[in-house]
Chains A and B, each alone.
Chain A
């Protein structure tokens, strides 16, 4: 079945450091890929998405590229800020209804000044 695997956290970085959160997936078809962010006490918010191979999703300085050959969708940011402290979830969607969404277990990021 479909699944998403994320790097284990927690991750602690100093402000302005480079961020990479690894995500790999297993899918039976040709999924769309998403990154969500969850700030403390809030729900998940869509950060970025990519819908086909070699697509790059980007938002708020974050980027991720859909790599079909390595079944990966790693999240990167060149210079993190304290305000980026949150939990990040990688997800895939196989179908046209939401019951075919699959989430990773989340990676907690703390950025220290």
Chain B
């Protein structure tokens, strides 16, 4: 039972480079989301999706794109990396319903130089 799988675990980029963080879940959850975690700021929602073909912006969407072509996958794209995007990124999924918890992946630590 893999749960939520994120790749890569670590990544170093130069300013201006682009990349895609991968996220896949095998629990058939309709809801998926991306957070970034920065010291002293907790978790901030970047983008989310309530089902295949549907995405929306969270609290800090600038500089990131997402798409949801299947229920299982929810990749996060950095179009032109900036040092301010240095962070730890977490993907999460949820079954739906008011009392359901979020299930998290193990994160991707991204450094932009």
Chain A residues with a Cβ under 8 A of chain B: 32, 34, 36, 41-46, 49, 51, 89, 93, 95-99, 101, 103-106
Contact = CB atoms under 8 A, between A and B. Distances in A.
Given A43-B107, A46-B101, A51-B99, A98 B92 contact: yes
Contact of B96 (A32, A96, A103, A104): A96
B33 A45 contact: no
Interface string B91-112: 0111011111111111100000
Interface residues of B, number: 29
Contacts, number: 66
Contact of B101 (A34, A41, A103, A105): A34
Given A43-B105, A46-B101, 12 more contacts: A32-B98, A32-B99, A34-B101, A43-B104, A46-B102, A49-B101, A51-B99, A89-B43, A95-B98, A99-B45, A105-B40, A105-B42
25 contacts: A32-B98, A36-B104, A41-B107, A42-B106, A42-B107, A43-B4, A43-B105, A44-B104, A45-B104, A46-B101, A46-B102, A46-B103, A51-B99, A96-B96, A96-B97, A96-B100, A97-B48, A97-B96, A98-B93, A98-B100, A99-B45, A101-B102, A103-B42, A104-B42, A106-B42
Contacts of A105: 40-42
A43 B58 CA distance: 20
B104 A99 contact: no
Contacts of A44: 43, 90, 92, 102, 104
B31 A98 contact: yes
Contacts of A103: 42-43
B50 interface: yes
